[in-house]
Structure formats: C-alpha cells, structure tokens
Chain A
C-alpha cells in the first residue's frame, strides 16, 4: 500500500477549508497564512506528482481504490494519467496564485479562503476521479463556493446576476451530463461507475450516437461551447479576482476535461459521429469569441470573451479525435489555464488600484505598475499564439489535427488568432501605454510583492512551456495514446 498521495492532495483543501471555518473570524492574518500554507502544499504535491509520474509506464498511476457503495458499483477510485496530471498541476498553480492575489480581501477572509479551498478540492477531485460518480460528486461540489464567492465578494454591479447565471448554466450542463452518465451506467449492464471498466464496455453504435450529445454538451457547457458560452464572460467579470482565475483558468478545463474523459473516452463512436457538429460550434467559438472580445469596453470582459475563443480551440482539438488534435487540446487546456489566470490576476490588480475597468478611462499604467504591464503583455502574447510562448505550442498541434480532420476549420479558426492579436495590442496600448489620466496618476500605486510573485510564476511557466513543450507533452503523449487506443488504434 503506497502513500495515498491523491487523497492527500484532494483532502488537503477540504480539511483546510473546514479548519478555516473553525478559526475565529478576527484572526485574518492567520487565516491567510493557513490558506497559503495549504495552497503551497497542494502546489508541492502536484509538482511531486508531475515529477514522479512514470512516463515510460503511462496509463493511470498513483491509483487508489476503495469501495464506497458496492451495491451500486460506486467506488472511491482515484488516479491520474498524462491528460489529467497537467491539469492537476494547473490547478495547483492557480490555487496558489489565487490565494496570493486575494491577500487583501478584507471582507470575511475566513469564509473567502475556506470556500476557495472547497472549490480547489472540487477541481482536483474531478481531475483525479476514475469513478463517474466520484467525478460528479466533485463536479457538483463546486456549485456553492462558486456561487457564494461571486455573489458575496464579486463586482457589486453584476455579481448577483452573473453569479446566478453562471451557477445555473453550469448546473444545467452538469445534470444533463448526469442523465447521460446514468444512461451509460445502465446501458453498460455492468452496474459500475468505474471508468476503467466502462471503457471496455463497448456500447452499441446506436446507443453511443444517442447519448454522446447529452454527455458531451452537458460538460462542454462548462467548457464554454457556443451557443452556451454566455455564462462565462458574465460570470468571470462578476467574480472576485481569485475566483475569476479559478473559474476561467481551471473550471472551464474541468468541463472540457470531463467532456473528454466521459463523453469521448466512453462513447468514441458517438464522438466520431458528432465530431462535425462539435467542430462547427467550436469554430464559431473561436472566431465569434474573438470578435466579441474586440468590441468590449470593459477590460475584464475582453478577457472573459477571449476565454470563450480559446476554449473553442480546445474543443476543436477534441473533436478532431486524432493524435495531434488531442495533444494540442491538452496543451491548450494547460496553457490557457495559466494564461487566463494571469490575465485575471492583472485585471484584478488594475481594478483594485484604479477602481475602474473601462478601457477608455485607463492609460499609461506601465509607469505605475510595470510588473502588471509585463504580465499582461506576456499573457497577451500567449493569447495570440505568439511563438516562444505556451499558446503557440498548444495551438499549433490543434491546427495540425484540424488539418487532418477538417481543413476548413483550420483556415477559419486561424482568423481568431489575428483578431486576438488585434485586440490584445489595442488593450495593451490603451491600458498600459499612452497618457495616464490625471486622477489615476495620483491614486494608483505599484503592485505588492505577492502580486509580483504571481506574475513571475505564471509568466515563467508560460515561457518555459513555450520553449520546452516537451515538459508537458512527455505526459500528454502517452495519455493521448491510450485514448486513441480506445478508438481503435488511432485514426
């Protein structure tokens, strides 16, 4: 019996969340420290996983399995493979950064950090779950932290609307996926929720075609698929900084990941059948999201819509169902997660100091907060797929995959890159360069050291990945191989 590292990973935030709730509310400084300590443990554990995953062996590792409800075939079954491990690492990074940028939360930090921890546990749990019930359990666990954190600590003007919209959209998606999952459960005749067993079930073609849309779409809503994407910008904008980071950075990946793991891995024939439709919608995501981002006047909405655009590439990668596309999608999940976390962190820093997010009333901030400017620019370069940053090495395989499946998609989707470049340069110019408005000149100060740490950490990850994509593909490749094996040896 090896050390149950995944359980430790998932339960660290849960237990911390409970401990935080038991602490006296006045001990704000200690509450923050406890949260940071837990976030560091999570990050270190995910790094440990990253380094000790045996690439040569591949498959699911660090597996833990225990009976939970044997009558229904529900098991507590955890494990990570090359697809989920990068996402675990991503979650570790973003949770850590999220705690750091939230250091200045003064309104009920105890509840804030506690809920943040629960949200973290939820995403980690989904990434590690090898049992469909467990996956759903963690998936839905995120509902209340998401909602309450947006509503209580969010942007006062839109938080009630944005929070509710986001929560309900995602809840609808997840319960639709739940119906599909239950159908899989009963359809398999195996009476088990175990993912590995279900993978081998071999569902009939008709069944797969009928149920794939339920499961995939249900999860893909959380991934921001068009036309169910509108929760994303509204929700992200309404959320407080750390939650925007987690939502756009990790939660959207949770949706995409679950769509891959449940819908595509269990119903590969259905995926083949529906792939053109998914490609079509995802392509709209890419181009439409970028266009809408371009016309936004609110700094944060730009990023919100850019997430919609980028998640479209992930979904395109999935729908190609080939090696390159899946590798690219997995890379893009990680890359976009880090990038958007950095974006939202910077937006939050700007807003905290300037108290406005209207692009028109910002300007020249590079003089006041050079770190934030550099961070945003690096994020922007990742976003536009600039070589040398993680965005390029992630998007490139997606496009290669698209060429093999549907060349037209590649040709259309590439427009998204140009548009992205246009709006990123515009925003960078208007917000960080040019004349600084007089009132901002007086009031705005530099970012804190913790903020700088976040910016440096996330930027560094993106640059490293941009130059050394193999850091992740060494994990992703075997993961993709095993998915392709489910589809009959990789078409």
Chain B
C-alpha cells in the first residue's frame, strides 16, 4: 500500500500504457470488450488522481510546492532523471486529462472500424499528455511532449474525415517543427547547466553568468534566442496567432473524441509550458518581451473570434473559438510576465490574479471546448454534415440536445454563473492595470465571442426547421448524456464556487512567481 502511495504519479502515468499493452493481446473482433476495457482502464488514472487530489496539501510550507515527488535514475549518462511531481498548476491539468480521457473514450463508442488500434492509441495518448504535466525533468518533459504527437497523428489520419491526411501531416509537422527550437534550446541548457532537472534549472539557469559553449554570442543574446525557441514551440501548440493555422484543419478533420482531447488537453500543453518553463526559466526575458506576448494573445483573441464568426462549418467554428479562448490564457501569462519581478503589493496582486485566471481558464476551456466538440460530434453522427446552413430549428426536434448545447455554449461564452466567466474575469482584472490597451482590445474580442456563439446557436437550433431532418434525427442517448453531464456539472460548480480549485492554483502561483 505504501508503495502504491509513494508511486501514485507513476501509476497514473503508466496505467494507460499498461492497459494498452494488455489490449494488444485482446482479440480484435470483440469490439464491445475492447471499448469497455479501455473505458475501465482509463477510469483508474482518474480515480488515482482523485486520491492524489485528496492527499494534496495546498497549505504545505515545504521548500518547494511539488508533492508526491518521485525521482529515479533514468538516463544518467546525460544527467537526466525520472523526476515526477505535482503542484497546484499541474494537478488541475492532470485532473482535466484523466477526466476527459474516459469521457472521450465513452464518446468514441460510435467508432466502428479498427476499434482495437483506436483504443490503444487513445490510451497511449493519455500517457503522453500526463507525462508532460507530471515531468519535473526537462528531458522527460520533452519526451512526453513529443510522444503525444504520434497517437494523435494516427487518430486524425486514420479516423478523421475527408481531408484527414493533409490535416494530420500539417499538425504533426507544425508541432515537430516548432519543437526543433525547443529541442535545441533544451540541449543547450542541459549542456550549459549540466543537468536537466527542473528544480536545479530553476535555480541555476536564470542566474547563469558564464556560458561554456563556443557560440560566439553573448549570454543575454543566447538566453533571448532560447527564450524565443521555447515561446515558439509553446505558441504553436497553444496556438497563438500567427501559428494557429494547423489547428482548424486538425480539429475539423479529427474524430470527435480526438477533437475533445485536442482542444481539451493538448492545447493546454502549450500554455502549461509557458507557466512551467518559460516564466520561471526566463524571468528577465519574459518581462522584456511581455508586450509582444500580450500582442500575440490579443491577436489570437480577436482573430480567433473573427475567424470563428466567419465559419459556416460548425466544427471549424468551435475550432476557431479555441484560438480565441486560449488567447486569454496567453494574455494572462503575458500580464504576469510583465509583473514578474515586481515588488509592489498591488503589482503582486495583479500578477497573482492574472495567473490564477490563466490557469483556471485553461481548465475551463478544457471543459467547455471538449463539451462543444462532443456536441458537434453528436450532431454530425446523426446528420453527417456540419454545415451550419443545413441546420435550423433543431431545438424543436431535439430538445435535450438543444438544452445541453445552449448550456455548454453559454459556459464557453462566459456567462456569469458558469465557469468561463470566472476565469476570463480574473484574467482581465489582472491584466488591466499593466496592459490596459491590450486588455481593452481583448474585451472587444470578447464581444465577438458572444457574436459567433450566438450565431451558431441560432443557425442550429432556431429559425425555420430544415425539413430534411424531420424523422431523421434522434435525441441524445444515455451514453452521450453520460459523457456530457460531468462536464456540465463541473462548469456549473466552477461558475458558482470556484474557490476549491482556485485555492490550490493560487498557492502554487504565489509560490512559484
């Protein structure tokens, strides 16, 4: 029992892999068995995460906020170790991942072909994503960062819709291309510091005074280049304008569950990278380039919203909305970056608020985007089209679906009382004093957010009923409700009483920055 408790994070991380390996041995004809097995297996990490959550002490006054730490020899030849741990920033992300994966698997019960490979890939994807959130070693971080790409690529390329091959390749090449700079920068840091351990890097990299690398560039220049290498890699993943073009394609072509995970978790990896690596490792540079970051964030908010507004494809519209929402995360991070070395109490407060907002926004967007993509998928499964012009007046036909859709859309839109409002408010509140102009522009973006969501709702649910759907569409099934209801509950819970999550985030944020 002790062993289990001491290795909870490893168990969370590798249970999906182990399950995938077991599934290799299952007969591929028994689709029901495969589905149920995958679903059950994915519940284990969720349960374990809850155990961690329960055991996590937000008040702990240790030297470092990381808990449930595990450390073991891994690649000692190049001084990289197997180092895991969670804090208030990563734990919510882990929860989000372990929660969304079973739901996504449940949502993929409608997949009929090659169920075995599909489920295996999905479980492997979960390990990849969790690893990023859990890793406290830069090399390990990178390993998981890239590992997740492979299953995602195949999920899109194999089970996606018409243009899947193009989209999958674009996705993977964009991300890998972005990671090259990250990879180089990691190598450079590993060589310069002589370790990949994050805790050690936190201490030594920002205060590095001498570079033992025959580069012919001054240390600040090297650091600035490394900073941008990190930023580009994470910005592509978030994605931030102008690196976002892979996202609409990938989202549109991915299967429903793939989109859920993509929007719900994968995009968070980028933002998480900013928080975990960029701000602590490059405080000076972050502060220096905070304005540029804020600009990118705002551009994402506005262009994302405008882009979404222009779409007639329901799924593509949601995809663009992700860009829009993730822009707020970036804005919050940028604001915090600008205040990173502030000492004034007001500044400290603003910084904390902005960061709290950013982290919470990540969590919230995970819930709402996953929900929205799922709902698009539900509709597509039935209608086999996603063109908004083909729909209309479906509320009458599908009352349950309509209600759920409106609820989720409102959460996404930022209706007070639901989760989206809380986090966006926090971001705006935190960013306003430092970056007034950017925040003001972001507010305009928020206006467009409302516009496109309402447009979508109108074109799907209201207006005259397109007669071709009569008697062809059925309402949501119990399984589908089972998928969406945990999300809805959380949306509501966070909207009404966000403190249970914010407390934890706040401690970590206050400590780290």
Contacts and interface: CB of A to CB of B under 8 A. Distances in A.
B157 A429 contact: yes
Chain A interface size, as a band, is 35 or more
Nearest to A407: B215
Nearest to A422: B173
Interface stretch (A20-28, A240-248, A468-476): A468-476
Contacts of B73: 470
Given A400-B191, A421-B172, A414 B183 contact: yes
B469 interface: no
A262 B214 CA distance: 28
Contacts of A403: 187-188, 191, 213
A396 B189 CA distance: 13
B190 interface: yes
Interface in A390-429: 392-393, 396-397, 399-400, 403-407, 410-411, 414-415, 417-418, 421-422, 425-426, 429
Given A387-B144, A403-B188, A411-B184, A425 B173 contact: yes
B168 to A, nearest CB: 8
A397 B144 CA distance: 18
Nearest to A420: B176
B75 A404 contact: no
A397 B78 contact: yes
A469 B75 contact: yes
A368 B190 CA distance: 45
B460 to A, nearest CB: 33
Contacts of A414: 180, 183-184
The SS class assigned to the B binding surface is helix
A400 B190 contact: yes
Interface string B119-142: 000000000000000000001001
Given A387-B145, A433-B157, A397 B150 contact: no
Contacts, number: 92
B201 to A, nearest CB: 15
B158 interface: yes
Contacts of B146: 386-388, 392
Contacts of A422: 173
B15 to A, nearest CB: 16
A470 B77 contact: yes
B41 interface: no
Contact of A433 (B158, B187, B213): B158
Nearest to B166: A429
A410 B157 contact: no
A69 B112 CA distance: 71
Given A396-B139, A403-B213, A470 B187 contact: no
Given A386-B147, A396-B139, A421-B172, A324 B78 contact: yes
A381 B78 contact: no
B169 A425 contact: yes
B218 interface: no
Given A410-B187, A414-B183, A429-B169, A397 B77 contact: yes
B30 interface: no
B31 interface: no
Contacts of A470: 73-77
A202 interface: no
Contacts of A421: 172-173, 176
A451 interface: no
B150 A381 contact: yes
Given A415-B180, A470-B77, 16 more contacts: A387-B147, A396-B187, A400-B190, A403-B213, A406-B214, A407-B215, A418-B176, A418-B177, A421-B172, A421-B173, A422-B173, A433-B165, A470-B73, A470-B74, A470-B76, A476-B77
Interface of B: 73-78, 139, 142-147, 149-150, 153, 157-158, 165, 169, 172-173, 176-177, 180, 183-184, 187-188, 190-191, 212-215
9 contacts: A324-B78, A387-B142, A388-B150, A393-B75, A396-B187, A399-B183, A403-B213, A404-B213, A429-B165
Interface of A: 324, 327, 381, 384, 386-388, 392-393, 396-397, 399-400, 403-407, 410-411, 414-415, 417-418, 421-422, 425-426, 429, 433-434, 469-470, 473, 476-477
